[in-house]
Chain A
Amino acid sequence: MTSRRVPLLPLLSSLLLPAAVAMVFFYAPTERTMGVVQKIFYFHLSLAAVAFLSFFVACVAGVLYLVRRERRWDAWGAAGVEVGVVFTTLVLVTGSLWGRPIWNTWWTWDPRLTTSLILWFIYTACLILRSAVENETRRATYAAVMAIAGFVDVPVVFLSARLFRSIHPTVIRSDSVGLEPAMIVTLVVCMAAMLVFWAALVRLRYGLHLQEAVVGDLERRLGES
């Protein structure tokens, strides 16, 4: 179960993340109207992308758990939801920090903000649900159902949020990218760094969940004899 091999993903992300930070501050040009505040955008967008990826992972893991009934899929799902909630929290925080000087408000009911906030609520509820169920099989089943039920809500959330007035900048459109080449390079590096960091976190949490389950088994066996 435990491997003594080199922790490749954490090591890689410990190199990539500082590099991405350095690029954001020393390589990417400062935006003309927004100034230095704009630099938060590189992290904001990367965080949002991987946060959404976590929920997707949780949903797929949920489906696989219900079909296969194997403990590891529950562990993947749990890791996905946990990391997703943390990253969504960061998305909301970085968005607010940017919105305050630029929009002159911490919060506005914009589609993307609303979607992120609702997702945060759905998956935090998922975590609360996990803590409320003792029985392992039952907890895994309920968590899988909730992760799937939450993910199928995403289209409706986005559809409904679109009906609200939007002031969120659309940086990446289908026809063109509203960024300078140096900014694009920085963004790509930032996203890659965040993706590796995310994968490292999910992998660690996954391992931890599996170990917790094994410890639970051992405790039960001790209690029996």
Chain B
Amino acid sequence: MSRAWFLYRKDLRIELRKKESGASMTFFGALVLVILNVAQGPGRRLTPETAAGVLWVAVIFSAVLGLGRVFARERENGCISALLVSPASPGTVFAAKACVNLTLMILSQAVLVPVFFVLFGTGLTGGPLALVPSLLLVDAGFSAAGTLLSAVSAGTRRNEVLLPILLFPLILPLVALAVKATGSALAGRALAERLPLLEPLAAFGLIYAAAGYLLFPFVVREG
């Protein structure tokens, strides 16, 4: 447990110093929101469902940008080998990395969601707080699956291109559910109505947390 904490703290320290992933995630996400706002045309109001779609496009595109970086760092100077010969198990490394990714996603969304409400908020009944449950659940699933696949893509020659190609098909159902859940939250409906949508989101998170924990060691080991 304390090993995971050291790993987590190390990554977060680098992140706070270089502001590589978090800052570019937030910046790019805001950029996507503005682009979508421009594309939507001036003065038009979106239905809650469409607005939810806009938010999720910005969230997943910005998140995938940061994910690759967090793992690629371990390949530089061969640090991943040092972690593998340390007493920390690969599963622990996976858990720590997934938590770093989760933290980065939450931090960037803390900026992106207000930006989203500024740009698209008119006519939406639900406020930012209503989005928190679905955002957190998707973030958890996304960082679990994303950590596993960023380890895969970091081992190939086409790291940056490959990560979204591998990750997006897997999280497609997650996004579909999230859009529905967020749409109903933005329309101001009660949390109880969204529960059937949130359960599969949680299931996805659990499945990929387990799959990642079990498969990650195979990905990072040489053979």
Contact = CB atoms under 8 A, between A and B. Distances in A.
Task: Let me know if chains A and B touch directly in the complex, using CB atoms closer than 8 Å.
Answer: yes
Interface of A: 66, 69, 114, 118, 121-122, 124-125, 128-129, 132-134, 137-138, 141-142, 144-146, 148-150, 152-153, 155-157, 159-161, 163-164
Contact of B165 (A66, A128, A134, A150): A128
B145 A149 contact: yes
B152 A142 contact: yes
A129 B211 contact: no
Contacts of A118: 169, 172-173
Interface of B: 145, 148-149, 152, 155-158, 162, 165-166, 168-170, 172-174, 176-177, 180, 196-197, 200, 203-204, 207-208, 211, 215, 218-219, 222-223
A134 B219 CA distance: 15
A155 B206 CA distance: 12
B208 to A, nearest CB: 8
A113 to B, nearest CB: 13
Nearest to A143: B152
A8 B204 CA distance: 42
Contacts of B207: 152-153, 155-156
A30 to B, nearest CB: 37
Given A145-B219, A152-B207, A160-B177, A129 B169 contact: no
Nearest to A137: B223
Nearest to B197: A163
Contacts of B158: 132
Contacts of B149: 146, 149
A148 B152 CA distance: 13
B176 A160 contact: yes
- Best-surrounded residue of B148, B165, B170, B211 (most CB of chain A within 10 A): B170
A142 B215 contact: no
A146 B218 CA distance: 11
B177 A149 contact: no
5 contacts: A118-B172, A144-B218, A155-B207, A160-B177, A160-B200
Contacts of A148: 211, 215
B166 A129 contact: yes
- Best-surrounded residue of B156, B157, B180, B208 (most CB of chain A within 10 A): B156
A133 B176 CA distance: 31
Contacts of B208: 149, 152
Nearest to A153: B170
B9 to A, nearest CB: 28
B215 A145 contact: yes
- Best-surrounded residue of A133, A153, A155, A157 (most CB of chain B within 10 A): A153
B218 A121 contact: no
Nearest to B203: A156
A157 B166 contact: no
